[in-house]
Copies of this chain bind each other. A is one copy, B any other.
Amino acid sequence: MDNRPIGIFDSGIGGLTVFKEIRELLPNEDLIYFGDTARVPYGSKSVQVIRKFSSEIATYLTLQNVKMLVVACNTASALALSTLKSETSLPVIGVIDPGVRAAIKFAGDGPVGVIGTRATIASGAYQDRISRLRCNLRFVARACPLLVPIVEENLMQSDIARMALEMYLSDFKKQQVSSLILACTHYPLLKSLINEFFEGKTVLIDSALETALEVREVLQARRINSDSTQSGHETFFVSDSPEAFSEIAADFLGRPVAGECFLHSWQNEI
């Protein structure tokens, strides 16, 4: 038993989709969430910067005495997971392996599709994992940089969103992709439109639930789950305005933020 909190982080707010699934599956665990809202997004940045930022957050969460790190960000999972694992003795869980396992389960004869940020797709991390698990399975991957701003502009049901999907996903349709990994925490908010586009013929994989299941498994396997019978505490740290975060977070969580939300301002030495 270990009653320390689970640390969860993302480049910004999207990781709350993972936070939400973990909360539902593990109601008694204390959770700490870090959103790097001052430096968001990561998806258009370099490997070096993504690793540096991820390590800084992991160090910060470790100082908060967490028992596990959950990288609730596809870009950081794709590019920084091995770096983080080499820097800590805590268990580190990313969103890629859970997503890939689910995609393969529904893949049939494939191909499997992956959409994500520029950095995630360029990293080849999803492609690597898929071919390691089923080496002959074909896959199609594409970066879709317009989808995050479309979600952030609340245009999930607009013609602009339809046109962007047409542009990004025609090739996936042509190749009759059997399962498609939504490899960015914002994309599940476009799920119904993507489903419409594929006429329900492609299984859409949202890694959030799969990741939460893996978190539970690892807690149990290592016997580090909490024995509390109370509702777990929730604490949030963000590097930009806690007020703005709390407001948008309520949309992601489907309820107001329950715990306290603090500002952690990075102190730069020049």
Q: Which residues of A line the B interface, CB within 8 A? A: 37-39, 44-46, 48-49, 52-53, 56, 59-60, 63, 145-146, 148-150, 152-153, 155, 159-160, 163-164, 167, 239-241, 244, 265-270
Nearest Cβ on chain B to A182's Cβ, whole angstroms: 18
B149 in contact with A244 (CB, 8 Å): no
Q: What are some 13 contacts across the A-B interface (CB < 8 A)?
A: A37-B45, A46-B244, A48-B240, A48-B241, A49-B239, A49-B240, A63-B270, A145-B149, A146-B150, A146-B153, A149-B149, A267-B270, A268-B269
B270 in contact with A268 (CB, 8 Å): no
CA distance A150 to B167 in the complex (A): 13
Contacting residues, chain B, for A146 (C-beta < 8 A): 146, 149-150, 153, 155, 160
B59 in contact with A49 (CB, 8 Å): no
CA distance A267 to B152 in the complex (A): 30
CA distance A209 to B48 in the complex (A): 35
A270 in contact with B56 (CB, 8 Å): yes
Contacting residues, chain B, for A164 (C-beta < 8 A): 160
Nearest Cβ on chain B to A115's Cβ, whole angstroms: 14
Contacting residues, chain B, for A44 (C-beta < 8 A): 152
CA distance A91 to B134 in the complex (A): 62
CA distance A167 to B155 in the complex (A): 11
What residue of chain B has the Cβ atom nearest to residue A263's Cβ?
B48
CA distance A148 to B145 in the complex (A): 11
- Closest A-B pairs by Cβ, 4 of them: A46-B241, A267-B269, A149-B149, A266-B268
Contacting residues, chain B, for A149 (C-beta < 8 A): 145-146, 148-149
Contacting residues, chain B, for A153 (C-beta < 8 A): 145-146
A268 in contact with B56 (CB, 8 Å): yes
What residue of chain B has the Cβ atom nearest to residue A52's Cβ?
B265
Nearest Cβ on chain B to A158's Cβ, whole angstroms: 8
Contacting residues, chain B, for A267 (C-beta < 8 A): 268-270
